[in-house]
Chains A and B, each alone.
Chain A
Amino acid sequence: MIIADTLLQGILMGLLFALVALGLTVIFGVMDIVNFAHGEFLMIGMYTVYWTSLLLGVDPLLVLPASAIVGVLLGLASYYWLIKYLLRGPAIAQLLGTFGLMLFLRYLVMFLFGIDYRIIQKGLLVGKSLAIGPFIFDWTKLAAAMLSLIAFAFVYYFLHKTKIGKGLRATAVNREAASYMGIRTDRMNALAWAIGGGTAGVAGGLLVNFYYAFPTVGLLFVMIAFACVALGGFGSIKGAFFAGLLVGVIEMLFPIFGSLIGSSFLGPHFKFTVVYLTYFIIVVFRPQGLFGWKH
C-alpha cells in the first residue's frame, strides 16, 4: 500500500521532470547543442509566475501562460542573440556558450531579485490536499502533473501533426536533406529554442507552487533533466517522457524501499545516487538511451 502511494507520488514528480527534460531533448535533437542554461529558463519561469501572481494579485495557475510566453521569448532571444553566432564556431564554443549563458542568467537574477527564497503563498490550491481513499495528494503537485501532461501532449501534437512540427523533426533527423526540401534550418533552430524555453518556463511556473524559487535552483533540476534526456535518448520525446517518470519513481521509491527492508544505510541521502547509477548502467549497456536512435 505504501508502495502504491509512493509510486503515484513518483509519477507526479516524474511528469514534471519529464516536462523539463522535453525542452532539453528537443533542442539537442534539432541542433546537437546541450543547453546548459536550461535550468535557468526553468528558474526564470518560476520567478515570472511568482512576481506576476504577487504583483497582479492573481492566482498563480492562471498566470501560467505568462511563464510560457516569457520562456518562449527567452528561448528565441538566446537563439538569435547568442546561439546563432556560436554555430559558426567549433562544438566546444557552443558548449561553453550555453554554459556562459547559464552563468549570466543566474547571476543577473541574483542581482535583480537577491538570494532570498520565494514560494507561492496564496493561491486557490496552495496548501490544500486531496484525499482519495488512503492516498493523500498535494493539490499543487497534482495540478502540476496534470498540466505537465497537457503541455507534453500539446508539444507532441505540434511536432507530429502540424506541418511546422514535421519540419522540425525532419531537421532533427537530417538537417541538409531537410533544407533541400525547402525547410529553413534557421527557422527550425529558433523554433526548437522557443519550444525549449517555453516548456522549461511552464515547468518552472508549475514548480514554484510547491518548491522555492532562488537564483541557483536551475542547477538542481537541470542535472535531473540531463539524466532524463540521456536515459531516454537524446532527441527522443517519448524517451524524455518515460525517463522522467522512471527518475521520479526511483527518487520516491528508493528511500521507502530502504526503510521497508529495515536498512538505515540505504536511506534518502542516496536517492539521487541510485538515479544516476541507473542512468550510468543504461548508458553503458545501451548508449543511445531507452528510445534514442543509434547514430
Chain B
Amino acid sequence: MKGKRLFLYLVVFLSVLMLTPMLFAAEKDIKIGVLYPLSGSLAGIGRDLQRAAELTVDIVNNKTPGVDIPMAQWGGIPSLGGAKIKLIFADHRGEPDRGADLAKRLILDDKVVGLMGAYNSAVTKTVSAVAERYGIPLINDSSTSPDLTNRGFKWFWRTTPHDDYFNKDLFELLKGLTEGKVKGVKAIPKNELKNLAYVCENTEWGSSVAKSIEGFAKEYGFATSKGMLYNANSPDLTSEAKALLAAKPDAMLFASYLSDSLLMIRTLKGMKAHTKFFWGQDAGFEMADFAKTLGTDIDGVLTRTVFIATLTKVKKVAGQVNGLYKQKYGDDLTGATARAVVGVQTWAYVLNKAASTDPKAIQKACNEINIPASDLVMPWAGVKFDATGQNILGRGLIGQYQKTKEGTIDLEIVYPFEFATANFIYPFPGWD
C-alpha cells in the first residue's frame, strides 16, 4: 500500500514537472491556422498552396537575402520582439462542414491568433462564419465568390479580387474583340460573337460565377444560349459536353477545378469540339498541372488569372520570390500560389502594425493596413481593405495559352490590353 502511494506521488510530481515549462515559457511563436484542401480532389492545389505559404513564412521568419523588400529583412515580427509566425495547417478536403470543425479546433484547442484560407469558396463561407462567431480574424487569400464580402462580417478580409471583378474583365475582353482593341486581331463583327455558353461546377464558387456571367451578359449585350452547372467530382462529363456542343455557342466559358477541367477538355477533344472563344475562370485552368498534363492541346485556351510567370521579368520581387519557389519545388508560381504568398505577407504586415496578438488590435490593423505595390509579388496597386473587407487595390489578368516555336506551351497576357505580351489567337484553334 505504501509503495503504491509513493508511485502515485511520483507520477503526479513528474506530470507537474513536465507541465511547468509550458506554463512559464513565453509564447515565442505566433500561431496562425491555415485551412487548405490537402487531400481529395483538390489535393494538388492544396499542396502547392501549402508550399507557397511555408516559403513565405520562412522569408518572414528568417532574414532572406536576395528578396528586395523590407519584410525579407525582418527575421520575425519586429514590433513583437522578433516573434516568429508558425503556420498550423488543417486539411478540410473541400468539405465545408469539416472546414468549420477544423476552424473551431484551431481556435479553441490550438489557440491560434488568426486564420487563413480556405481556397474553396464553399469552405471559406463556413470557416468565416466560425471566425466571426469567435471574434478571430480570417484573412482570405484565394476564394473569389463575391458573396463572401457581402455578409457584413467584421472579422473577414479578402486580399484577392473577387469574381465580379474578373468576370467584368472577361466581358471587357469580349467587347474589346468586337472593337478591335485586342493586340493582333482586327475588330470582330458583333453578330459573330453573340452566343455564350457557360459550364460551371456547382458549389458556391461555380454557381456564383454562373450568376455573375448571366448578369454581365445582359449588361454587355450578349446572349447566353446555354448555362450548365455540373458536379466537379463526376466520373464522366460526356453528357455535359454533348449538351454544350449541341448549343453551338460562339464562346464557351468554364468555371472548373483541376480534375474536371482536365476531363472536360479531354472529352471535348474526343468530340472534336470547335468554337471561337474558350475561357476558364482560373482555378483548374491556371494550375501548373493543367498545362503539364494537356500540353499543346490547350493552344488558344484563355484563363483568368492573377499572376503569370512572365511577370517575373517585369517585377523584380516577383522574380526573386518565384526564383526561390522554383528552386525548391520546380514549378513557377501561379495565380493561386502567388496569392497564398500575399496572404501570409498580409498577415505579417498586419501583425507588425497591430504590435499585439490581441484580436481587436489585429482587427484594427486589418482595417487600416496599406501595403505598397512595390512590396508585393502581384501586379496590384497594393493591399487596402474597404468597409466590407475587400481589397480594393487588386486586379486580374487574362492569359492565353499559346504554342511556342519549340512545341511547348506558354501563358501570354492578353488583358489588360496595355500589358499584352503576345498577339491574341482568334478564333480558338479547336481540335478538328
Contact = CB atoms under 8 A, between A and B. Distances in A.
Interface of A: 2, 5-6, 9, 13, 110, 115-117, 119, 121, 127, 129, 136, 138, 210-212, 214-216, 220-221, 224, 251-256, 258-259, 264, 267-269, 271-272
B262 A251 contact: no
Contact of A115 (B47, B231, B234): B47
Contacts of A264: 227-228
28 contacts: A2-B246, A5-B242, A6-B239, A6-B242, A9-B238, A9-B239, A9-B242, A119-B262, A127-B266, A129-B272, A136-B270, A214-B41, A214-B43, A214-B259, A220-B235, A221-B235, A251-B236, A252-B236, A255-B243, A256-B239, A258-B243, A259-B228, A264-B227, A264-B228, A268-B229, A269-B231, A271-B234, A272-B231
The 3 closest A-B pairs by CB, nearest first: A115-B43, A255-B239, A268-B230
Interface residues of B, number: 37
A89 B229 CA distance: 46
Contacts of B235: 211, 220-221, 224
B255 to A, nearest CB: 13
Contacts of A13: 236, 238
Interface in B227-271: 227-231, 233-240, 242-243, 246, 258-259, 262-263, 266-267, 269-271
B270 A259 contact: no
A117 B238 contact: no
Given A127-B270, A216-B40, A252 B227 contact: no
A46 to B, nearest CB: 12
B121 to A, nearest CB: 17
Contact of B240 (A110, A211, A255): A255
A271 B239 contact: yes
Interface in B34-49: 38-41, 43-44, 47
Interface of B: 38-41, 43-44, 47, 202, 226-231, 233-240, 242-243, 246, 258-259, 262-263, 266-267, 269-272, 289, 293
A259 B243 contact: yes
A64 B85 CA distance: 50
Contacts, number: 99
Contacts of A256: 239, 242-243
A121 B202 CA distance: 28
A127 B294 CA distance: 11
A269 B263 contact: no
Q: Which of B226, B240, B258 has the most CB of A within 10 A?
A: B240
A210 B235 CA distance: 10
Nearest to A259: B243
A6 B236 CA distance: 13
Contact of A138 (B202, B270, B289): B270
Nearest to A224: B235
A214 B236 CA distance: 15
Contacts of A269: 202, 229-231
A251 B239 contact: yes
B242 A216 contact: no
Contacts of A259: 226, 228, 243, 246
Given A117-B44, A117-B262, A268 B239 contact: yes
Contacts of A6: 239, 242
Given A214-B43, A252-B236, A255-B228, 5 more contacts: A116-B44, A215-B39, A220-B233, A268-B230, A268-B231
Nearest to B40: A216
A210 B236 CA distance: 9
A215 B41 CA distance: 9
A224 B238 CA distance: 17
Contacts of B242: 2, 5-6, 9, 256
B324 to A, nearest CB: 23
Contacts of B240: 255, 268
Contacts of A129: 270-272
Nearest to A211: B235
Contact of A210 (B39, B47, B266): B266
Contact of A267 (B41, B44, B230, B289): B230
Given A252-B239, A253-B239, A115 B270 contact: no
A127 B271 CA distance: 10
A18 to B, nearest CB: 14
B44 A115 contact: yes
A211 B236 contact: yes
A136 B270 CA distance: 8
Nearest to A2: B246
Contacts of B246: 2, 259
A136 B432 CA distance: 13
